[in-house]
């Protein structure tokens, strides 16, 4: 397979093959997986009405959802993973089937800028390391907001351009060890830039952006967005 995956409908590209990406996300991203899984579990357990449906935007080969399904504590949570690339969708569905999770996880091809889902369809949206790939982050955030039910929550993680150099160095070394191209930090966003995007999306959502100073999470930031109950 070519080393660059290219979408047929856009000029967005991922700079490594599906197989290499699957290898990387199944073997080298455990710390970052755990951070997001714990956040999802906290939301799941802290709500008296347990969330029923999660949509993961830019799911890749579904390794995160598989971990949620096999290791997480959200046993009643149905999950839909979306990805723009046909190759990723095929690989993700194969992975889900291999782990016997087809009753809990479904993978579909979707463009985050114009998704085919109905309004207010899900309780949770997750996305990791995807904002910098979005052609129009403001429109993508509007779509994510549209999908959420009233009181629904989006948890979005990504790498920050202004992370400490020591964190960047460790991350780059891990990518090299995995045979993945080095990360281009110049294409990432800062938490302040993401804040501006959310405000421009004009969704009336409440949101918090956090950027830890220590631990693996210090490489990036979290956007925690809640849809108002009246929307």
Write down the pLDDT at residue 231.
64
- Rounded mean pLDDT for each run of 10 residues along the chain, 231 residues in total: 34 68 89 94 86 96 95 89 96 97 97 97 96 95 97 97 96 90 94 97 94 94 93 64
Write down the pLDDT at residue 230.
74
Write down the pLDDT at residue 50.
86
Write down the pLDDT at residue 73.
86
What pTM, to 2 d.p., does this model score?
A: 0.92
Write down the pLDDT at residue 89.
97
Write down the pLDDT at residue 91.
96
Write down the pLDDT at residue 178.
85
Instruction: Please give the domain boundaries of the chain with CATH numbers for all domains.
Output: 15-226 (3.40.50.150)
Dump the DSSP string for the chain: --SSEE-SSSS-EESS-HHHHHHHHHHS-HHHHHHHHHHHHHHHHH-SS---EEEEET-TTSHHHHHHHHTSS-TT-EEEEEES-HHHHHHHHHHHHHTT-TTTEEEEE--TTS--SPTT-EEEEEEES-GGG-S-HHHHHHHHHHHEEEEEEEEEEEEBTT--HHHHHHHHHHHHHHTPPPP-GGGSB-HHHHHHHHHHHT---EEEEE--SSSGGGGEEEEEEE--TT-
């Amino acid at each position: 397979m070519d080393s660059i995956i290219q979408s047929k409908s856009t000029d967005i590209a991922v700079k490594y093959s599906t197989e290499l990406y699957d290898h990387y996300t199944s073997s080298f991203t455990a710390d970052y997986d755990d951070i997001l899984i714990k956040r999802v579990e906290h939301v799941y357990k802290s709500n008296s009405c347990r969330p029923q449906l999660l949509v993961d935007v830019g799911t890749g080969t579904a390794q995160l959802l598989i971990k949620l399904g096999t290791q997480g504590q959200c046993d009643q949570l149905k999950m839909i993973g979306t990805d723009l690339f046909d190759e990723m969708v095929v690989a993700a569905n194969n992975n889900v089937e291999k782990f016997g999770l087809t009753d809990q996880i479904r993978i579909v091809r979707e463009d985050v800028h114009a998704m085919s889902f109905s309004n207010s369809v899900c309780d949770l949206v997750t996305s990791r390391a995807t904002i910098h790939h979005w052609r129009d982050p403001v429109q993508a955030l509007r779509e994510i907001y549209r999908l959420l039910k009233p009181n629904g929550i989006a948890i979005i993680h990504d790498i920050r351009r202004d992370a400490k150099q020591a964190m960047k160095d460790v991350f780059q070394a891990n990518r090299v060890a995995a045979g993945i191209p080095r990360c281009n930090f110049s294409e990432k966003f800062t938490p302040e830039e993401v804040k501006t995007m959310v405000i421009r999306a004009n969704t009336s959502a409440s949101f918090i952006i956090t950027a830890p100073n220590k631990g693996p999470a210090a490489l990036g930031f979290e956007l925690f967005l809640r849809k108002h109950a009246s929307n």
